[in-house]
Amino acid sequence: MGKTASYTMGSSKLLLVVFAAAAAAVIGLAGASFRDECDIPWEPQNARFTDDGSGLSLSLVSNYSGTYNYNLKYLLQLINSRTKKQFIFGSVSTLIQLVPGNSAGTVTTYYTSSVGDNHDEIDFEFLGNETGQPYTIHTNIYANGKGDKEMQFKPWFNPTDGYHNYTVSWTPCMIVWYIDGTPIRVFRNYEENNGVAFPTKRPMYGYSSIWAAEDWATQGGRVKADWSKAPFVANYRGLNVNVCECSTNDCATQCASAFSSGSSACQLSDSELAQMRKVQDEYMIYNYCVDFKRYNGSVPVECSLSQQ
């Protein structure tokens, strides 16, 4: 497998596993610095690092805070942070405090995405709401450019009165979304046997962002953002990254090997399964797999297969 090197970076420890066959490296950064590990490619004047660099605030100032041409041709206002390095497989997590009060029309995100055509993406999106109404926790996955695999939840906690941990775990077997260590959703890799697209080859970046999506974010677009309440501020703290660094498709095989060993790479524990079922039974508000009207009486192939 090559050699392992260990480096100390301030209060963080960097573990580097170098593969001989390709430019792939497993990187573990606990409590990493947003300032050191991320760039602000869009609207940097509306992003602020904490003094020690471990935290990040993103401010949506007005509905003219830049424009971004999204996949569905929405013109959106976006402030965005992106990791400097790309990776294939691993986990990324951070603590987030969402916009308090009237957050209608805004979307705060934490997600991974490749670049270019037919992109892959794994989403946490937090859809704002009127004061006193709950956020919607929106999850989705794109593979080979195809998405439309949404599951949504109402939070069982107040995501604005403190920080909560959000984690995306991506292995060759499955993708898991966690909140405060509790799995809320699994998407399994059924590509080889059932033809269901799954991200395995395109390097991704990690992103944090806040943007205006008044056309659809809150109650189907009925409720718009109240710009007199701007700026809308989302706070991030403590970037944790355990990934296989990879900037080309050539290292996908080596990265897959690094994250395929051990039962946890392909299966939740019994206690995690129980936690996930409880969250889905009590707090799920939308599941594309049971939206029969959307699919004219049928459902996508993966919906008939186990996602646990």
Concatenating the DSSP letter of every residue in 128-147 gives: --STTS--EEEEEEEBTTB-
Judge contact between 189 and 174, C-beta under 8 A. Answer: yes
Cβ burial, residue 162 (10 Å; 0-12/13-18/19+): exposed
- C-alpha distances (whole Å) from 257 to each of 24, 107, 171, 265 are 11, 35, 10, 11
Q: Would you say the C-alpha torsion 115, 137, 107, 299 has a positive or negative sign?
A: positive
**φ, ψ for residue 251 (rounded to 5)?**
-100, 10
**φ, ψ for residue 231 (rounded to 5)?**
-80, 150
Which residues are known to be catalytic? 121, 125
The CA distance from 176 to 182, in Å, is 10
Give the tokens for residue 61. Answer: 């100032």
Q: Is 231 helix (H, G, I), strand (E, B) or coil?
A: coil
- C-alpha distances (whole Å) from 23 to each of 26, 120, 272 are 10, 21, 34
Q: Is 224 helix (H, G, I), strand (E, B) or coil?
A: coil
The CA distance from 63 to 65, in Å, is 6
Q: Nearest-5° angle of CA 99, CA 122, CA 210?
A: 25
